Amino acid sequence: MSSKVKCPICGTEFEGGSFDDCPKCDWTFLGYENELGLDEKESSNPVTIRQAKELVEKGMNIWGEPLPKA
């Protein structure tokens, strides 16, 4: 069952749940990001929360590719 979740990286709300990818920044939503340190890397995403947020601020997804146009 999916519901609306909010990406902890870019703030996009999307239908999904744990281990679904954000349609904007491609972050794999875990549901327990608040338990991770900003510089802690886990296996579902290629970068840390801090790195992902920095990439989004620069207009890129977590893979360093341009964010989709709104």
Q: Say what the pLDDT of residue 58 is.
A: 98
Distance, in Å, from the CA atom of 52 to the CA atom of 7, rounded to the nearest integer, reads 11
* pLDDT reported for residue 70: 65
Q: Which helix (H) or strand (E) holds 54?
A: helix 49-57
Residue-level pLDDT at 1? 52
In whole angstroms, give the CA distance from residue 33 to residue 40. 10
Those residues of the chain that have pLDDT short of 50 are: none
pTM: 0.91
Token digits for 24?
């904007």
